[in-house]
Amino acid sequence: METEEILNLKNEAFAQITTAQTKEELENIRVAYLGKNGKITNLIKKIKNITPEKRNKYGRTINSTKQNIENLLFERKQQIIEELEKKEEWFDLTIPGIKPQIGSKHPLLETLKEVENIFRYLGYQVAEGPEIETDYYNFEALNIPQDHPARDMQMTFYLNLKDEKGNPKILRTQTSAMQVRVMEQIRPPFRVLVPGRNFRYEQVDASHGFEFWQVEGFVVDKDISLTDLFGTIDFVLRELFGENIKLRFATTNFPFVEPGVDTYMSCTICNQKGCPFCKNTGWSEIMPAGIIHPNVLRRGKIDPEKWGGFAFAIGLSRIVNLKYRISDLRTLNTPDIRILSQFK
């Protein structure tokens, strides 16, 4: 009688356990049979009421039933866990993938490469120089002695470092600082391009930054004239901006060139209608230049009686602004990926 009852309970429990779908269901079944007031637990409590002759057999049956239920609960639980893991691994090939974010070249470097290629075509070699410079190469060798008024136009960052003459080192204010460095190294004739960053203590606005890129270029050769300079500027800017640009040259004064020339290009951002970038003039000052001053050649141990040269500095940041029609120079210095990703 009692054994039959146990057998029924066992079958009932087995049926429930094998059809359970979740760990929670299994837990409920465990409590219903093996919990404090579980059906099996209650039968165990009854053992003491059973006659001693039957007690042994009854006890063994119920214990083995309890063991069987526990084992089956454990096995089913493992199955459920495995099925869950399989479900998570399941991979739907038809779901569209997530596009990874890949970088792109910065418009400044992209344009620099373009500028370098144009000049390489013209026979220039590319050189790079230090951003921390001595007063000598940045100013003195370029015909700008101490207390020359031109120094006031180039507000300079002075560093807590001294050069061999005891003067404070500076952050270079112009890539022209490389002119005499190069002249000391190689003999004319040569055509050299020096791209790089310069630093000036300036009020930052839409067309000025305290850090700006220049591409310095200089040529030393025989029979150099302003025509060579104008021809070079004209060729390079039309390669960069197309045939429709207008150029204007005006004389200006830089101590390291004689004569000095300012190059103005028609503003491509506003098509000469006037905008903050060109300060409503329709023209953007883009490339100061000139014939290299004999004193600079002498500093570079080149005889100005035999050799002549011209030099120019391209405002690379301005070129990028004009090329990509960005009306604010500061945009290029932002690390904001949303802005930079527009230039892909």
Per-state percent for the chain, helix, strand, coil, to nearest 5: 45, 20, 35
> Measured from the CB of residue 306, what is the shortest distance to Zn ion in angstroms?
44
Q: How far is the CB of 224 from Zn ion (least distance, A)?
A: 33
Residues 6+ apart with CB under 8 A from 261: 226, 229, 249, 250, 251, 252, 288, 289, 290
| Tally of CB atoms within 10 A around 160 | 6
CB of 328 to Zn ion, least distance (A): 12
**CA-based R_g, the chain, Å:** 42
Q: Please, which residue, 80 or 270, has the CB nearer to Zn ion?
A: 270
Please identify, using beta-carbon distances, which residue of 68 and 281 lies nearer to Zn ion. 281
Q: Minimum CB separation from Zn ion for residue 327, in Å?
A: 8
Please state, as a whole number, how many other Cβ atoms lie within 10 Å of the Cβ of residue 138. Answer: 25
- Cβ closest to Zn ion, residue 269 vs residue 329: 269
From residue 54, alpha-carbon distances to 6, 9, 60, 61, 278 in Å are 14, 19, 10, 11, 109
- Give the shortest CB-324-to-Zn ion separation in angstroms: 14
In this complex, which beta carbon is closest to Zn ion, that of residue 265 or of residue 296?
265
- Smallest separation (angstroms) from Zn ion to the CB of 329: 13
User: Coil, helix or strand for 132?
Assistant: strand
User: DSSP letters along 288-323, please?
Assistant: -EEEEPHHHHHHTT--TTT-EEEEEEEEHHHHHHHH
For Zn ion, which is the closer residue by CB, 65 or 284?
Answer: 284
Which CB sits closer to Zn ion, 127 or 275?
A: 275
Q: How far is the CB of 313 from Zn ion (least distance, A)?
A: 21
Which helix H or strand E contains 260, and what residues bound it?
Answer: strand 257-266
Residue closest to Zn ion, measured at CB: 267
CA–CA dist 237, 234 (Å, integer): 6
User: Which amino acid is residue 3, in one-letter code?
Assistant: T
Chain residues in the site for Zn ion (CB under 5 A): 267, 269-270, 275, 278
Q: Which CB, 289 or 326, lies closer to Zn ion? A: 326
